[in-house]
Structure 1
Amino acid sequence: MSDEITSPNTSITRRKFALGLAFASVAGVAAARQPTKSIDLLGDKKLENVIPEKIGRWSFVSNSGLVVPPEDQLARALYSQLLTRTYMDEAGNGIMLLVAQSPTQSGILQIHRPEFCYTAGGYKLSPSTPHSVDIAGRAFPALSISATRDGRTEQIVYWTRIGNHMPTSWRQQRMAVAMDNLRGYIPDAVMVRVSTYGVDRPAALADVDEFIRDLMGSVTPQTQRVLFG
């Protein structure tokens, strides 16, 4: 018989070879697109040096009093910068500022998001909602959330910058990283959280928005890019 007889084992081997070749091709494309350029807007600067201790009508009073992740989580984040400050005006109204920075988007920002650290601290959270801050006529995109524990309510506004992107959801954050990676870039990342205590949500958020605008006006243009994109 001149026709070649193909055994089932031979067919399986050929299929395995084809699959292996396909996987190798995908791996080769991925390797060729490995990001090699870094986007690091903060560079070698320290957050404590670029963010002033006097912002508008508020002055720095303490590094403590803020909700942060558990110690075991923070221990894993020592390679990134974390600034925590409480500011107060002459009337005794306090504003809390947290800035978490990572030179590469490595997930460190996620552990500082209110959904993580406040829940870990026993707070009950409201759903996060879009919050627009009017800065010099520009609608700055952020999110707001309320956190309650032991009869106290903290009104929170926060946002994330990934490279040159300002994502307002987990999905957008992941997409921002993926888009930069495909372009060959490794993006840095910053999360900013501004909050104050108060059950009167509109009044509390008005103070928070004022602080955010004053923060924008108190830092250099380079630091504005770091914090606000």
Structure 2
Amino acid sequence: MADDAPKSPLFRRRHIVFGGLIAAASGAAYARMPNQTRTRMAPGTVDKMVPAKVGEWTFAQSSGVVLPPSDAMSDRLYDNLVTRVYTAPNLPTVMLLIAYSNLQDGMLQVHRPEFCYTAGGYALTPTVPITVSDGDGTSFGANQFVANNPNRTEQVLYWTRIGQSFPQSWMEQRFDVLRANLAQTVPDGLLARVSLVDGDNVTGFDTARKFVAMLDRAAPPKLKTILFGDEATRARAATA
């Protein structure tokens, strides 16, 4: 049974203090941020890099992918938003979403897929942190969950990259941005999501992992860096 009793003053004070500390730290980080020196990628740049052929899968269309709700905030979040649907003989159709932002600070951060699917009317299983290997065998942190609505069930695998980090929770993501901003750097941000409809969740997620590895092998060097980080990021992930 839910606890409807009012929270104690001490409980409320702790949350107020914690929230105040986060807000103060975010403000301090924002004040310390230098002007961004990284070359900004214009809209449409990433879309041109994404290969039409990924392993056995071939690009079929751009529609049919669950998207973030369209509003003024989401329009500011993503400098590049790519959606692709890939098909292959005798294999499940794979849906790919790549959301890239040139700028990640305390005010603007990429949405995580749980928000998009819930807003789209899906019921979600708990998000499970996992480790995924790219095409070179380097592992990095990712997440997976199952999204259900009356008409379909999707297996969803995704990862976020903030600069050189792969945060697996919203709190980790916020602290990675904060840490970079306090160091007077402005990291870029990526959300990559691979999803598919499969009657078996286990084989569905196995297929998603295979697609990620194939995508890494098919991607040109610049896209590979956007998706999986530069050489320093990969070296750090390999020794973690």
The bucket for the TM-score relative to the shorter chain is: 0.7 to 0.9
Number of equivalent positions: 199
Unmatched tracts of structure 1, length 5 or more: 1-25
> What amino acid is aligned across from residue 96 of structure 1 in structure 2?
M
In 2, Cα distance between the equivalents of 1:103 and 1:228? 15
1:1-229 aligned at under 5 Å gives the runs 33-39=32-38, 43-44=41-42, 46-72=45-71, 76-77=75-76, 80-91=79-90, 93-105=92-104, 107-110=108-111, 113-135=112-134, 136-229=136-229
Unmatched tracts of structure 2, length 5 or more: 1-24, 230-240
SS in 2 for 1:173: helix
> What amino acid is aligned across from residue 103 of structure 1 in structure 2?
N
1:9-33 superposed Cα distances (whole Å, 9 cap, x missing partner): xxxxxxxxxxxxxxxxx9xx87873
What is the CA-CA distance between 1:151 and the residue it aligns to? 4.3
Asked if structure 1 preserves the Cα contact closer than 8 Å seen for 2:33 and 2:186, the reply is no
1:198-217 superposed Cα distances (whole Å, 9 cap, x missing partner): 23111001111111000000
Percentage identity across paired residues of the two chains: 38
> What amino acid is aligned across from residue 183 of structure 2 in structure 1?
R
What is the CA-CA distance between 1:78 and the residue it aligns to? 7.8
Q: Output the TM-score relative to the length of structure 2.
A: 0.75
What is the CA-CA distance between 1:131 and the residue it aligns to? 1.8
CA distance change for structure 1 residues 156 and 73 in 2, over 3 Å: closer, same or farther? farther
In 1, Cα distance between the equivalents of 2:37 and 2:126? 34
1:164-200 superposed Cα distances (whole Å, 9 cap, x missing partner): 1111111111111111111111111110000100231
> What amino acid is aligned across from residue 192 of structure 1 in structure 2?
A
CA distance change for structure 1 residues 169 and 38 in 2, over 3 Å: closer, same or farther? farther
Asked if structure 1 preserves the Cα contact closer than 8 Å seen for 2:77 and 2:109, the reply is no
1:126-165 superposed Cα distances (whole Å, 9 cap, x missing partner): 1100122233433221100100001421000001011111
What is the CA-CA distance between 1:48 and the residue it aligns to? 1.2
1:43-66 superposed Cα distances (whole Å, 9 cap, x missing partner): 457111111011100000010001
Asked if structure 2 preserves the Cα contact closer than 8 Å seen for 1:37 and 1:184, the reply is no
Larger Rg: 1
Q: Output the TM-score relative to the length of structure 1.
A: 0.78
CA distance change for structure 1 residues 156 and 30 in 2, over 3 Å: closer, same or farther? closer
CA distance change for structure 1 residues 152 and 53 in 2, over 3 Å: closer, same or farther? same
SS in 1 for 2:193: strand
CA distance change for structure 1 residues 144 and 73 in 2, over 3 Å: closer, same or farther? farther
In 1, Cα distance between the equivalents of 2:62 and 2:93? 13
Asked if structure 2 preserves the Cα contact closer than 8 Å seen for 1:85 and 1:98, the reply is yes
CA distance change for structure 1 residues 160 and 38 in 2, over 3 Å: closer, same or farther? farther
CA distance change for structure 1 residues 129 and 39 in 2, over 3 Å: closer, same or farther? farther
